[in-house]
């Protein structure tokens, strides 16, 4: 059996059965080895070892006259052949009844991660690192999706730290109040409106909404105020992006309760970031992180937003669309995919998908992932996620697992204290 496995230390777990394709194979399990969701298996196709990842399984019955026999059929999606730290798609499928093996050693031995890459997890049950290239992650925009408590923020913090290590400027738009403390060792600049400016903006927006007869006078006051603080916003953004010492800025909106004020403020600062990037084309790599993106870039269609609010969200969407030209990358996080602007979300080329259960989110993911991965998403365990896209060190999506880090749990719990 060692020859059938190409000489690789392995254990027979089953055979390829009908219904298999290039993208996925069906495997009748023999009961050998431990196979579960996320397990990597392989079979030989010619001289190549082609790897697959188990995503689903079902029971079936074979009847031999008077002796029906139950069996498990696992569905495994192709990862591809493994070489030079990455999986590459293989262009064919194994023959019927080909033996399928569980690898007992890591393909290619212990794998290193490149200098420009960040390890975000491992292929479950192996030492194979799942890594992303930071240049591609920022260049082509990225999204981290999942319900609360699945590990989104911890992954985001790792990506931010790596971007800072690589010399990028990072601006976090945070409604949670978490980033300022969790990234305190990076000496973040607190960027945003002063308390007085924020309160004044809240008041003038309220007056413009509630004034009589179209609130013409109130809207003029609001416009004048926005023009007045524009210069201050421009100077703050310019000082941060021009600085050779300050790399990280946190733009907190935790104290702002007015949704329109949050959107207006976000739009003002992001517009100035874009204007600076256009004037200094690609002299700095800039990463904008939008935490709780369903609040900062909401889906406005049919949601009861007025024209002014729709314009503001559209403007933020334009920044996302144009950012690549000028070295401005976007990383958005959301637990409510259905409420995020699809104009912005569709610009993301790399997705990290933790557990999601609502049908609207799963419906959107059907445009991004294959049906097998979409079906796996609601059942993902804590710290398990599906990663797919341009930045991934694989031609195919991967179900990955992050290691539990007690220091991160302690740091997160410390915020509540």
Q: Would you identify the CATH topology of the domain 130-416?
A: Rossmann fold (3.40.50)
| H or E stretch at 69 | strand 67-83
Quick: pLDDT tens for 163-210: 999 999 999 988 778 899 999 999 999 987 777 777 787 787 777 777
Cα-Cα-Cα-Cα dihedral sign, residues 343, 344, 348, 354: negative
CA end-to-end span of the chain, whole Å? 57
| pLDDT above 70: percentage of residues in the chain | 88
* Cα–Cα nearest to 51, from 416, 408, 403, 398: 398
Provide mean pLDDT across the span 116-123: 93
Q: Express as a percent the part of the chain with pLDDT over 90.
A: 50
- Give CA–CA dist 383/164, Å, rounded: 24
Q: Which of 40-44, 135-139, 206-210, 228-232 has the lowest mean pLDDT?
A: 206-210
Quick one: pLDDT band at residue 259, thresholds 50, 70, 90? low
How far is residue 188's CA from residue 249's CA, in Å, rounded to a whole number?
A: 5
pLDDT for the residue numbered 135: 93
Residue 63 has pLDDT above 60, yes or no: no
Domain ranges of the chain: 10-109, 130-416
**In this structure, what are the phi and psi dihedrals at residue 51, rounded to the nearest 5 degrees?**
-100, 145
Highest mean pLDDT: which range of 91-100, 111-120, 252-261? 91-100
Q: According to the model, what pLDDT value does residue 1 have?
A: 56
- Tally of residues, the chain: 417
Secondary structure letter of residue 213 according to DSSP: G
Residue 287 has pLDDT above 70, yes or no: yes
Q: Which of 29-38, 128-137, 270-279 has the lowest mean pLDDT?
A: 29-38
What number is the average pLDDT over the span 99-105?
91
Q: What is the pLDDT of the chain when averaged over all its residues?
A: 86
Tell me, what's the pLDDT at 38?
A: 92
**Strand 24-29 and strand 48-64: pairing?**
unpaired
Q: Which residue has the higher pLDDT, 381 or 203?
A: 381
Distance CA 163, CA 362 (A): 29
Q: What is the mean pLDDT of residues 281-306?
A: 81
| Listed ranges 57-71, 318-332, 339-353; the one with the highest mean pLDDT | 339-353
Exposure on the CB side of residue 182, measured as CA atoms within 13 A: 24
Of the pLDDT bands very low, low, confident and very high (cuts 50, 70, 90), residue 67 is: low
Would you state the pLDDT for residue 302? Answer: 55
Please state the rounded mean pLDDT for residues 360-385.
Answer: 92
pLDDT of 311 strictly over 80: no
pLDDT at 144: 97
**Residue 132 scores a pLDDT above 90:** yes
Displacement of CA 209 from its chain's centroid (Å): 36
pLDDT tier at 54, thresholds 50, 70, 90: very high
Average pLDDT on 326-341 reads 89
Angle at Cα 10 formed by Cα 13 and Cα 377, nearest 5°?
55
C-alpha separations of 173 from 43, 98, 141, 297, 411 in Å:
46, 52, 15, 11, 20
Beta bridge partners of 10: 103
Q: What is the pLDDT of residue 304?
A: 58
Measured distance CA(4)–CA(43) in Å, rounded = 8
Indicate the pairing of strand 398-401 with strand 384-389: antiparallel
pLDDT, tens digit, 9 for 90 and up, residues 5-28: 888 889 999 999 999 999 999 999
Ordered DSSP codes for 160-204: HHHHHHTT-EEEEEESSS-HHHHTGGG--EEES--HHHHHHHHHH
Ranking 207-221, 368-382, 383-397 by mean pLDDT, the lowest is: 207-221
CA distance 73 to 58: 5
Q: For residue 294, which of 260, 340, 332 has the smallest C-alpha distance?
A: 340
pLDDT band at 111 (very low <50, low <70, confident <90, very high): low
Q: What is the pLDDT of residue 34?
A: 85
Higher pLDDT, 290 or 205: 290
The mean per-residue pLDDT over the stretch 283-305 comes to: 81
């Amino acid at each position: 059996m060692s020859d059938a496995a190409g000489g690789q230390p392995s254990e027979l777990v089953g055979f390829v059965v009908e219904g298999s394709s290039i993208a996925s194979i069906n495997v009748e399990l023999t009961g050998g080895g431990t196979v579960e969701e996320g397990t990597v298996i392989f079979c030989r196709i010619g001289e190549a070892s082609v790897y697959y990842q188990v995503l689903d399984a079902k029971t079936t019955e074979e009847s031999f006259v008077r002796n029906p026999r139950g069996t498990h059929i696992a569905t495994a999606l192709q990862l591809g052949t493994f070489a030079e730290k990455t999986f590459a798609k293989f262009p064919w499928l194994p023959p019927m009844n080909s033996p399928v093996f569980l690898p007992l050693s890591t393909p290619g031995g212990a794998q290193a991660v490149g200098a420009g890459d960040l390890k975000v997890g491992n292929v479950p049950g192996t030492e194979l690192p799942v890594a992303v290239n930071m240049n591609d992650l920022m260049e082509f925009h990225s999204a981290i999706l999942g319900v609360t408590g699945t590990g989104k923020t911890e992954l985001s913090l790792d990506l931010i730290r790596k971007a800072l290590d690589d010399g990028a400027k990072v601006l976090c738009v945070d409604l949670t109040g978490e980033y300022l403390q969790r990234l305190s060792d990076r000496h973040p600049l607190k960027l945003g409106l002063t308390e007085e400016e924020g309160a004044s903006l809240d008041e003038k927006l309220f007056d413009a909404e509630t004034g009589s007869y179209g609130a013409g006078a109130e809207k003029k006051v609001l416009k004048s105020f926005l023009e007045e603080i524009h210069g201050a916003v421009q100077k703050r953004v310019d000082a941060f992006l021009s600085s050779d010492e300050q790399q990280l800025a946190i733009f907190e909106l935790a104290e702002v309760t007015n949704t329109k004020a949050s959107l207006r403020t976000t739009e003002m600062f992001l517009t100035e970031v874009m204007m600076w990037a256009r004037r200094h084309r690609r002299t700095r790599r800039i990463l904008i992180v939008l935490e709780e993106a369903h609040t900062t870039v909401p889906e406005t269609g049919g949601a009861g937003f007025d024209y002014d609010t729709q314009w503001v969200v559209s403007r933020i969407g334009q920044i996302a669309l144009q950012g690549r030209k000028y070295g401005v990358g976007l990383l958005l996080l959301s637990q409510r995919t259905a409420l995020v602007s699809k104009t912005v979300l569709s610009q993301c080329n790399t997705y990290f998908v933790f557990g999601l259960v609502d049908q609207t989110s799963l419906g959107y993911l059907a445009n991004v992932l294959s049906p097998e991965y979409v079906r796996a998403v609601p059942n993902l365990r804590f710290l398990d996620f599906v990663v797919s896209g341009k930045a991934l060190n694989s031609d195919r999506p991967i179900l990955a697992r992050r290691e539990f880090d007690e220091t991160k749990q302690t740091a997160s719990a410390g915020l509540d204290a």
